[in-house]
Structure 1
């Protein structure tokens, strides 16, 4: 089950195919191909528990003879694995016992039996002494979590991995964990932390079992655009040599990043439209599609308005290559939501910015904190007097 360098974990490839198979925007002819590939993968690995679930959900057709055949093969394989464990415990050393238990855990992962896999991973951990080997078991658990999108399991496993690193641990595994945590943060809409973790891992990326390096760069650029300021974006993303070597291979991504930084807003919107399909069809980004689209538009509108105290709606519409009606409707929504600090003078057809004064905001916050402190002191003095 360990994936070789440069190869994505087969079960995560399968998870992505299952996601696309259920996606409403994937064409029917494509779904026919995906269905065949999913069925082939399930059949070749004797994934009876998963096959039963997919058949119940009408994703695959139920073939009872095939299901019975899979279960018979599973029973036979588990019997062999149990015999190896018993033999190791009687005749061999602790290392061989651990390896035998690990083999059984990996087999449960292979056949898609989540509960038994987690249970067997715990048994294997009890036979494991080295911190590095315990970390590898956590990575197997994390892969299970991402296969089933079980965020509670992922969160607990990340916390467990961090506590293990306090006992020791090599840099390679620490760097791998950053990517796992970054993917978890991105999947749970914490884009700021995801961008930070991804950027830290650019030059040390070895987590090919999760996704290819191209996909990693795709996630890094997308999360950075909505979370980094202009100066940081230039230093960490636009000029990053690791990103420059890959970004041209990903359709629209280079135009998306560079047109934003160079204030070429018309080109930015064209590239943005080209990227929407990729974001919509991404397993981890799909649930946050609408949110991400809003955040990107907030960033680009804010950047445009930053240069002006007032600007005509017509000039802004022309800069973005859209109609006056579209930009008027867009901005009114963002202003009402408190995302943009400006107001629309509909009669004059002008946008007036009213950016909050940073010094005044700091002064108001200080006054508020001072009042809170005085109230606490007064309450404390009454207690002391008593």
Structure 2
């Protein structure tokens, strides 16, 4: 595998995104021509015969038998050289050189995208590895392989393995990197709350450029935080965060999305985000064309809409659908349809009076509930103390 310069995304993950876009129905044909050319050129440059076979089997690419046979021959020749180096190291050199020879073979399997053999060779390399730091790097290679293939079982097991290794030791830099890897895993498996927490913990120590650029990291952090944090935390950790403020203007629509939400400018918020599923402008396009967020697009759309409707309705005991629709820049019919689907599903705590054209909120009295809970717990504690005092007196 090629070395990755500091601040550069891992080349295989760039390739994975291009493969994803090539198969995406919303990408225009003219763009797919360029994507296909880039993918084929990369495959040819690295003799990625296993990946070529996989893409042909999934109908992403067409079969070119001569092209495939040529790459297989190159793979066989390179693997023969690597096996000779392993044999020479085992006969003439020390444990460190033997490990490095096995690692080189594992990285070659990753380079040509042979997942099964790469995992086998990484295991062999691990068996010859003593240092915790070196074992952790093997786990990071495995995690990158998992994200390339979107193998969430492999990713989950590797994260657990890394955490166990850290119990034996490990430096802070690798621990911080692992948080971002786990955050991306949580994002990819729809655990947005945990993803936001992990991303926010890493925002001032981010060095995981091999996964994605810093702008992408801020994009993920903002999107997950906005639907999981309370208003006070969101202000402190996101709206006023200097790390976010330094790059947010480089990400299309994100600044408008963030600030219009916090400032309750709902029409501007929806303009930055876009409500309809068919429209691909605003942030919706970025989410749809994101390899990790795309499977959760509709879910995220619902969560965002629930969030802004809730924030708006929390300010009123009752409000007319006409004034609410005007605030959001929507038609009354569209808003009525939206609310009618969210209320029965338990997404919004309100009632709709269709005849009067009014939405009534059913806000619970949080302070009163907390007071009643405190009284109840106090009574329970007093009863326990009285029982205890009777036992002591006896």
Say yes or no: TM over 0.5.
yes
- Distance in 2, matches of 1:360 and 1:230, equals 21
- Distance in 1, matches of 2:116 and 2:372, equals 54
1:114 aligns with 2:115: yes
Structure 1: unaligned runs, 5 residues or longer: 370-386
CA distances 1:10-40 after superposition (whole Å, capped 9, x unpaired): 1100100000000010001111110111111
1:4 aligns with 2:5: yes
- Distance in 1, matches of 2:159 and 2:243, equals 26
Number of aligned residue pairs: 369
C-alpha deviation, 1:93, in angstroms: 1.2
Specify whether residues 111 and 167 from structure 1 end up closer, same or farther in structure 2 by C-alpha distance, changes over 3 A only. same
Alignment of 1:285-324 (within 5 A): 285-324=293-332
RMSD of Structure 2 on Structure 1 (CA): 1.7
C-alpha deviation, 1:92, in angstroms: 1.1
Specify whether residues 365 and 17 from structure 1 end up closer, same or farther in structure 2 by C-alpha distance, changes over 3 A only. farther
SS of residue in 1 equivalent to 2:309: helix
- Distance in 1, matches of 2:56 and 2:271, equals 41
SS of residue in 2 equivalent to 1:208: coil
- Distance in 2, matches of 1:67 and 1:276, equals 38
1:332 aligns with 2:340: yes
SS of residue in 2 equivalent to 1:336: coil
User: How does the TM-score come out when normalised to structure 2?
Assistant: 0.91
2:287 maps to 279
- Distance in 1, matches of 2:373 and 2:135, equals 47
C-alpha deviation, 1:41, in angstroms: 0.7
2:80 maps to 79
C-alpha deviation, 1:332, in angstroms: 1.1
- Distance in 1, matches of 2:148 and 2:369, equals 45
C-alpha deviation, 1:360, in angstroms: 7.2
- Distance in 2, matches of 1:190 and 1:298, equals 17
1:18 aligns with 2:12: no
C-alpha deviation, 1:3, in angstroms: 1.5
2:193 maps to 192
Q: Which moved more, 1:213-222 or 1:341-350?
A: 341-350
SS of residue in 1 equivalent to 2:203: helix
2:390 maps to none
1:381 maps to none
1:141 aligns with 2:149: no
Structure 2: unaligned runs, 5 residues or longer: 275-281, 378-394
Match of 1:351 among 359, 362, 370: 359
SS of residue in 2 equivalent to 1:202: coil
1:151 aligns with 2:152: yes
Q: Which moved more, 1:331-340 or 1:134-143?
A: 331-340
C-alpha deviation, 1:64, in angstroms: 1.0
C-alpha deviation, 1:356, in angstroms: 2.8
Q: Runs of at least 4 residues of structure 1 off by over 2 A? A: 356-366
- Distance in 1, matches of 2:261 and 2:58, equals 43
CA distances 1:194-220 after superposition (whole Å, capped 9, x unpaired): 000000111110101100000000000
- Distance in 2, matches of 1:62 and 1:107, equals 23
- Distance in 2, matches of 1:359 and 1:305, equals 18
CA distances 1:106-152 after superposition (whole Å, capped 9, x unpaired): 00000010000000000000010000000000000000000000000
SS of residue in 2 equivalent to 1:203: coil
SS of residue in 2 equivalent to 1:125: helix
SS of residue in 1 equivalent to 2:202: helix
